[in-house]
Amino acid sequence: MPDLTARAWECLNRARVTLNGRTLGVRASVDDTREKLNYDHCFVRDFAMCAPAFLLHGESGVVRDFLLTTIRMQAHTRRLRTFEPREGILPASFRPVPGESGTVLDADYGEESIARVTPIDSVFWWMITLRAYTVASGDTELANREECQEGIRRILRLVLEGSFEMFPTLLVPEGSFMIDRRMGVYGHPLEVQALFFMALRAADELLVGGDGLREAARERLRNLRMHVARFYWIDKDGLARLREETPDQFGEGVVNIYNVFPESIPDWVDDWLPDGAGYLAGNVGAGRIDFRFFAQGNLLAVTADLADDSEAHSLMNLYEARWRTLVGEAPLRLVYPALEGEAWRVVTGADTKNGPWQYHNGGSWPCLLWAFAPAAVAAGRMELLKRAVETAEERLDREDWPEYYDGRNEPRPGNRARSFQSWSMGGYLYARACLEDPAAADLYRWAERVTPEEATRT
Ligand code: GLC
């Protein structure tokens, strides 16, 4: 087999976005056979998944330049104006364009994106990447710079203040993260909560002083931990308890807080979920548990310790027992199961790119190796990581590093997938690095635990 690491680097290098001779990031993909749309932009989330490859490859300066470039794009508008990004928001993506006096960077905060979706997750990816940079390089000067400290404070104010709700989870609109199309992921999607948790941990570590913001972040961390453990975790015992719950309870001290009807438990869950296994639900809110399995949120929860040790083991048991479904021949499945038939039509708005077992709706994404690797290390399941990496090596390069795969059982490069997709290479490179040296997972792990706070009010 050719040296795939060298080959992945060769392809990733072609995607570099440069300005004045310095690399600031990578384009989402380098594929001249398809319409570019915004795939020639550097996406914050896509680069965040490539960042560890650069950090572990002696190129921490690239990550540093990316972090400074993006924080300088943070929205500063103090007045509340419509059609302008709120203070603290970071763009989804940017690209160099010719300006009046030389090249300038043009950023998209969602105002140009398909369906005008807001990139809630960019602020979290930035914070997580700043922390990974600090751990890998040992350079604390960057995080301590006033512009980064002010960036952290703005982000914390944006996400900790201002909500109609009293819950520790974050309420977000449809398509505001990696799944940036209509997929029924509005509300309190797990992936956003896991990124939020991880970013708060990073902020707690990196913030110097902070006008009570650090205390607010810590309290939120403890409450978020308690809330997710209590309401998102699903296993056989939890399902049995749910089936006994009575609806329409009012007042304090009730059990069925969210008024979930047992009849909403889908048929597939019982057969699919083995004993000794479990996972975190995709979304929880009023009258709603989304029972679909979302890989990224589950894996990040294990890595950042939003899930405890026993949950981490149960999740990896699920991966082992349902390997064919969740990993298969093209690691890894983004969401399981797919929305089909009438549910697909109603929930996605008949989105043909998100047809059943395609793209976000049950497709498989190599970039998820980025999240699988530290989670497998955290749960002590290196053999599963080995298996996933070796499976990816069978085909990723041969098939030109597709953005995603379509198909329920026999995956094929996605119908509308780009080739030479940067985060497919970045995810692979990081997973390989973790396999060779599990200490590489420390970029996204913490030695201490967050102790959940007992709910004072429900
Ligand atoms: C698609 C994906 C999004 C990604 C972008 C660039 O819009 O849904 O998650 O960031 O492409 O790769």
Residue nearest to atom 7 of ligand 1 (CA): 180
**Between β-strands 405-406 and 335-336, what pairing exists: parallel, antiparallel or unpaired?**
unpaired
Among protein residues, the one with the nearest Cα to ligand 1's atom 12 is 28
- Which one, of 200, 178, 201, 221, lies nearest residue 371 by Cα? 178
pLDDT tens, position by position, 252-278 = 989 999 999 999 999 999 999 999 999
Q: Which H or E element spans position 98?
A: strand 93-99
pLDDT over 60 (residue 456): no
288 lies in a domain? Answer: yes
Respond yes or no on whether the N-terminal peptide bond of residue 332 is cis (omega within 30° of 0): yes
CATH of the domain at 227: 1.50.10.10
Token digits of residue 397: 């390069």
For the chain, how many structural domains are there in total? 1
Distance CA 413, CA 409 (A): 13
- The residue whose CA is least distant from atom 9 of ligand 1 is 178
Tell me which residue has its CA closest to atom 2 in ligand 1. Answer: 178
- Please indicate, yes or no, if residue 404 is contained in any of the structural domains: yes
Distance 45 CA to ligand 1 centre (A): 8
Atom of ligand 1 nearest to the CA of 423: 12
Distance 197 CA to ligand 1 centre (A): 22
**Which atom, in ligand 1's list, is nearest to the CA of 360?**
8
* Cβ atoms of residues 414 and 402 within 8 Å: yes
Structure tokens at 27: 């384009």
CA of 355 to the centre of ligand 1 (A): 16
Burial of 205 (0-12, 13-18, 19+ CB in 10 A): middle
User: Is residue 289 situated within a structural domain?
Assistant: yes
pLDDT band per the 50, 70, 90 thresholds, residue 455: low
Indicate which residue's Cα is closest to atom 6 of ligand 1: 28
Q: Give the structural domain span for 61.
A: 2-451
For residue 203, the CA-to-ligand 1 centroid distance in Å is: 25
Of 74-78, 367-371, 430-434, which range is least confident?
74-78
Torsion of CA 2, 3, 8, 11, to 10 degrees: -60
Residue 97 belongs to a domain? yes
In a domain, 261, yes or no: yes
Measured in Å, residue 32 CA sits from the centre of ligand 1 at: 17
How far is the centre of ligand 1, averaged over its atoms, from the C-alpha of 262 (Å)? 35
Please spell the DSSP secondary structure of 10-63, one letter per residue: HHHHTTEEEETTEEEEE-SB--TTS--TTTTSEEHHHHHHHHHHHHTTT-HHHH
Q: pLDDT tens, 188-214?
A: 999 999 999 999 999 999 999 878 999
Question: Which residues does ligand 1 sit against, CB inside 6 Å?
Answer: 28, 43, 45-46, 178, 180
Instruction: Note whether residue 415 is domain-resident.
Output: yes
Following DSSP, what letter does each residue of 312-330 receive, concatenated? HHHHHHHHHHTHHHHTTTS
Pick the residue whose CA is nearest to atom 3 on ligand 1.
178
pLDDT of amino acid 2: 57
Each residue's pLDDT tens digit, 4-48: 999 999 999 999 999 999 999 999 999 989 988 999 999 999 999
Percent of the chain's residues with pLDDT above 70? 98
Q: At what angle do helices 369-378 and 382-395 cross, to 10 degrees?
A: 160
Among 285, 283, 289, 286, residue whose Cα is nearest residue 241: 289
Cα(38) to centroid(ligand 1), Å: 9
Q: Which pLDDT score, from 0 to 100, does residue 457 have?
A: 45
Has residue 457 been placed in a domain?
A: no
In a domain, 456, yes or no: no
